[in-house]
Amino acid sequence: MKASLQNGFVRISDLILLVIAIAFFPRVLTAIGVPPIINFLHFPFVLGLFSLMLTKIQNYFISKQILLSIISLLGVICASALVNNAGIINVILDFLLLAEPFLLLLVIVGTKMSLASVKRLQSGLMGFTFIHIIFVYYQFFIIRSPDPDDVQGIFVGQGAGHHVGGAVALTAAIYFFVIYRETFSLWLRTLVAIVVAADIVFSDSKQVIVAFLVSLVFLLITKLKSIKEALQYFSLTTIAVIFVYKAAEVFFSSSLSFWGKDNRSVNGLIVKFSVFSIINSYYQSFLNLLLGLGPGHTIGRLGWLIPDYKEYLQPLGVTSSPVTEAIFAVNDTNPLSNKFTGSSMFSLTFSWAGVWGDLGILGLGIYIYLWYLVWRICSDDLSKFFLITILVQGCIFSWMEEPGYMLFMISLIGFQAQKSYNNELTNRLQIQENQAAFQQIEKAENHKHLRTTRSSKPWIN
Tell me the angle at which helices 403-456 and 161-179 cross, rounded to the nearest 10 degrees: 20
Cβ–Cβ under 8 Å, residues 423 and 120? no
pLDDT of amino acid 292: 98
pLDDT of amino acid 314: 94
Q: Which 3 state secondary structure label does DSSP give 270?
A: helix
> What is the b/e burial string over 308-319, where b = at least 16 CB atoms within 10 angstroms of the residue's CB?
ebeeebeeeebb
- Which residues of the chain have a pLDDT value below 70? 1-10, 59, 226-230, 233, 237, 240-241, 243-263, 425-439, 441-461
Cβ–Cβ under 8 Å, residues 165 and 173? no
Q: How far apart are CA 55 and CA 50, in angstroms?
A: 9
212 burial level (CB within 10 Å; 0-12, 13-18, 19+): buried
First vs last C-alpha separation in the chain: 69
| DSSP letter (8 states) at residue 141 | I
Residues 6+ apart with CB under 8 A from 242: none
In sequence order, what E strands does 22-122 have?
none
Residues 6+ apart with CB under 8 A from 352: 364, 394, 395, 400
Q: How far apart are CA 284 and CA 211, in angstroms?
A: 36
Residue type, 299: I
| 337-373 confidence digits (pLDDT tens) | 888 777 778 899 999 999 999 999 999 999 999 999 9
Residues 6+ apart with CB under 8 A from 65: 373
* Total-model pTM: 0.88
